Amino acid sequence: MLEVKLVLCPIDFSETSIRTYRHAISLAEHYRAKLVAQHIVELWRHPSADFAASAEDFKRFERALREIGMEKLQEFVKKHTHDEVQPELAVGEGIAPDSILSIAQAQNADVIVIGTHGQRGFDRLILGSTTDRVMRRASCPVLVVPPHDSMVAGDELHQVRHLNRILFCADFSENSEPALSYAISVAAEYDAELTLLHVLEHLPNSVSAKDAMTTATVRLENLLSPETRRKIRNTKTAVRIGKPYREIIQLALELQTDLVSMGARGRGTLDIAVFGSTTYRVMQLGSCPVLAVHA
């Protein structure tokens, strides 16, 4: 279940970081958890590092970048944090995904809150973004904030976002079971409505759409125990036919969902590596945060 004692939020000072950080603040404040704001200095982004005359010059250059990063992080946090939250600041150096995962492990983070810039294209899908790599390798849940998130810049800084509607996406595999546990936990914590969704992408020729949807609905209903139903004030099921990521995004819009909980898979096939997974596409194209949970 989702017990949040430490929230890690990587920051790159972009507009996306502002939205992401505000979600991290809201989550930390609701759970009364410690918040760690992290910035990573990636030397490969600074060509001057290649021209250091000596090892000592390189160390000075690296130290200067870290100091600048800390100053910018302090300024960012001061501007976007209210007085009731006092985050811990951390500046690291290295490859962004590795640094994020390293500090998450060292600090025993319960959740990583990270944004995605919504960039697309063949090179982006082949190489993967920082968010994609963190999501696939993190041992804790990762809350991914999309570029078109509904928590807009005009929201009150002191506002703790209450989650009213949670959407869980079920594929009936072992991979999705932990995501269901977290969805149940969050719904109970926030006294939120929980909707369980399954998308039928391919129907067997011998089965009618009506029969397939009825069977899927029964399987969704069986995912919730009587004890779970007592914890959550309102549960619903939904079965749709189509491309999974499109149906998930569409239903989330219709329900005005505050959070989507999905299983996250590691890369296994060329198809997933090139074209991205359902989870990845919902993160990139959806309008609400996605809680990605590994099996």
Q: What is the pLDDT of residues 197-250, one digit of tens each?
A: 999 998 877 788 899 999 999 999 999 999 999 999 899 999 999 999 999 999
Q: Which two tokens stand for residue 241?
A: 């036919």
Which residues have a Cβ under 8 Å from the Cβ of 229 and sit 6 or more positions away?
235
289 within a domain of the structure (yes/no): no
Distance (Å, rounded) from C-alpha 8 to C-alpha 12? 13
Q: Are 107 and 141 found together in one domain?
A: yes
Which residues are registered as beta bridge partners of 130?
Answer: none
DSSP 94: S
Same domain, 122 and 169: no
Q: Are residues 16 and 69 in the same domain?
A: yes
pLDDT averaged over every residue in the chain: 84
Out of 116, 142, 158, a domain closes at 158
Q: Is residue 58 part of a domain?
A: yes
If asked whether residues 138 and 167 sit together in one domain, one would say no
Count the domains in the chain: 2
User: For the chain, what percent of residues have pLDDT higher than 70?
Assistant: 83
From the CA atom positions of the chain, what is the Rg in Å? 20
Question: What pTM was computed for the model?
Answer: 0.87
Looking at 158, 175, 192, the residue that finishes a domain is: 158
Lowest-pLDDT choice from 7-21, 74-88, 209-223, 269-283: 269-283
Residues 250 and 176 in one domain: yes
Let me know if residue 292 belongs to a domain.
no
Question: Do 108 and 182 have their domain in common?
Answer: no
DSSP 197-241: EEEE----TTS-HHHHHHHHHHHHHTTS-HHHHHH-S-EEEEEEE
- Single-letter amino acid, residue 236: K
Instruction: Give the pLDDT confidence score for residue 157 in this predicted structure.
Output: 52
Strand partners, 10: 38
For residue 203, give both structure tokens: 């129907």
pLDDT digits (tens, 9 = 90+) for 68-118: 999 999 999 999 987 778 899 999 888 899 999 999 999 999 999 998 865
**Are 183 and 254 part of one and the same domain?**
yes
Let me know if residue 251 belongs to a domain: yes
Q: Which of 102, 137, 158 is the last residue of a domain?
A: 158
Indicate whether 70 and 180 sit together in one domain.
no
Residues 139, 169: one domain? Answer: no
Same domain, 40 and 149: yes
**Which CATH number do you get for residue 139?**
3.40.50.620
Q: Would residue 285 count as lying in a domain?
A: no
Q: In the chain, where does DSSP find H-type helix?
A: 15-31, 55-80, 96-106, 122-127, 130-137, 177-190, 209-221, 226-231, 244-255, 270-275, 278-285
- Whether residue 215 is contained in a domain is answered as yes
Q: At what angle do helices 130-137 and 278-285 cross, to 10 degrees?
A: 140
Residue 174: the pLDDT is 83
CB 166 within 8 A of CB 259: yes
Q: Which domain holds residue 224?
A: 162-278
Assess if residue 92 is contained within a domain.
yes
The reply to whether 45 and 166 lie within a common domain is no
Task: Collect all residues with Cβ–Cβ distance below 8 Å to 49 and sequence separation of at least 6.
Answer: 43, 58, 61, 62
Say yes or no: 92 and 205 in one domain.
no
Q: Is residue 283 in some structural domain?
A: no
